[in-house]
Amino acid sequence: MATIGFIGLGNMGLPMAGNLLKAGHRLQVHDLAAARTAVLAAEGAVVVAGAAEAATGADAVITMLPAGAQVAEIYLGGGGLIEAAAPGTLLIDCSTIDVATARRVAAAAERRGLAMLDAPVSGGMAGAEAATLTFMVGGEPAALEKAQPLLAAMGKAMILAGPPGAGQAAKICNNLILGISMIGVAEAFVLAERLGLDRQKLFDIASKSSGQCWSMTAYCPVPGPVPSSPANRGYRPGFAAQMMLKDLLLAGEAADAAGLDLPLGGAATDTYEAFVKAGQGGLDFSAIVNYIRGDVEPSP
């Protein structure tokens, strides 16, 4: 049984931390939102006031924050995790962030002799709840070996992608596929509506044909065919559209730096940007189907 600091108890972090508690670990949790920490306090976690307190006496600290800015704030500088963690503490950032920040934070950890992994996840809230996440890991193999029992309490697969930052690179590429494929599925279902084709029939056929993909078979953007998908609960996230926009922007920045043009990535970014600007960013990203249908008024 390990003592684990856990920072960021949002849609993903809360169920992930809950699974660590269920596996018998001691948790020291922190989030800006008291309502989130209260849920875990009721399950036996100790609520702490900040990053330094989360690291105190911890064998490992796990973070699940929105983006690079919050990760830099929590890890770097006075009172940050890297300053506060005792030698031997393992640092694991599971947030999806830009590769440059991931490398900067890992280098700062290394300077203090702390092992650090970037370990962004795939599998969504359902995967976080069922402890079936996939971790895409950047860092040293020895650190991953140490992290393995903790990651195994939250997921089913841990793949070492390469050195620090490689986990984030893999995640950004994965979400580029996801952002584009969700729009493709949404366009097909809206076209089916216009053609008078029943959505369940389209699902039954396309999910067994060459159009099948995760965005349809696990996360269908229209209500009905996949009962667990956010479409069946008013598009409550899930994975918020503003998070998808963040990830597509990260892919775009990385592609620009590499001198690569991403025609569909760019179109997907523009589509999500318009959706978020129309005030829909808090909805699940699959709600993009409503924008494609013309149900969302674009902002002027």
Nearer residue to ligand NAD within complex by CB, 73 or 295: 73
Nearer residue to ligand NAD within complex by CB, 6 or 291: 6
Nearer residue to ligand NAD within complex by CB, 89 or 134: 134
Enter the tokens of residue 281: 């960013």
CA distance 300 to 68: 29
Query: Of 81, 102, 121, 292, which lies in the binding site for ligand NAD, with binding defined by CB under 6 A?
Result: 121
Establish if 125 lies at the interface with ligand NAD (CB under 6 A): yes
Residues 228-267, one symbol each (x = binds ligand NAD by CB under 6 A, - = not), give: ----------xx---x---x--------------------
Establish if 13 lies at the interface with ligand NAD (CB under 6 A): yes
* Residue 171 falls in the annotated catalytic set: yes
Nearer residue to ligand NAD within complex by CB, 14 or 109: 14
Enter the tokens of residue 6: 């856990």
Query: Of 15, 18, 80, 124, which lies in the binding site for ligand NAD, with binding defined by CB under 6 A?
Result: 124
Is the N-terminal amide bond of 162 cis, ω within 30° of 0? no
Contact positions with ligand NAD (CB under 6 A) in 48-87: 64-67, 70, 73-74
Task: Please identify every residue annotated as catalytic.
Answer: 171
